[in-house]
């Protein structure tokens, strides 16, 4: 993953892009904790909302892998299924860790 390339792809300067990524990390962190609570409680509606938020934001910034995992989780939760949701959260967290390393 190359930030400069990503930044160029969506038409931003490096530092602008970094600022947005930092904000993205923050909102994702709160979405992730919301997800974990919601999965524990089996609250599919909350899962849908949090996953939806992650999906949109990551797509905005071009993090398409994270976006597609979130998308699948959202879709399942909408069908009342939390199967694989916990694993998906882990995958997203790993993806976020990778981004964090680059910051």
Which residues lie near another protein (CB under 8 A)?
9-12, 16, 19-20, 23-24, 26-27, 48, 52-53, 55-57, 59-62, 71, 74-75, 78
User: Whose Cβ is closer to another protein: residue 21's or residue 39's?
Assistant: 21
User: Whose Cβ is closer to another protein: residue 10's or residue 98's?
Assistant: 10
CB of 62 to another protein, least distance (A): 6
Query: In whole angstroms, how far apart are CA 21 and each of 18, 71, 82?
Result: 5, 19, 28
Enumerate residues 6+ apart whose C-beta is below 8 A from 102.
1, 3
Sign of the CA dihedral with 24 first, then 94, 1, and 72 last: negative
CB of 23 to another protein, least distance (A): 5
What whole-number distance in Å separates Cα of residue 33 and Cα of residue 21?
18
Query: In whole angstroms, how far apart are CA 89 and each of 8, 75, 96?
Result: 28, 14, 10
User: Whose Cβ is closer to another protein: residue 27's or residue 83's?
Assistant: 27
CB of 94 to another protein, least distance (A): 20
CB of 56 to another protein, least distance (A): 7
């Amino acid at each position: 993953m190359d930030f400069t390339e990503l930044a160029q792809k969506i038409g931003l300067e490096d530092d602008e892009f970094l600022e947005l990524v930092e904000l993205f990390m923050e909102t994702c962190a709160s979405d992730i904790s919301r997800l974990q609570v919601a999965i524990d409680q089996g609250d599919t509606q909350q899962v849908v909302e949090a996953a939806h938020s992650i999906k949109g934001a990551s797509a905005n910034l071009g993090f398409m892998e994270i976006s597609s995992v979130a998308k699948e989780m959202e879709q399942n939760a909408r069908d009342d299924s939390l199967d694989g949701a916990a694993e998906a959260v882990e995958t997203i967290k790993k993806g976020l860790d990778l981004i964090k390393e680059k910051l």
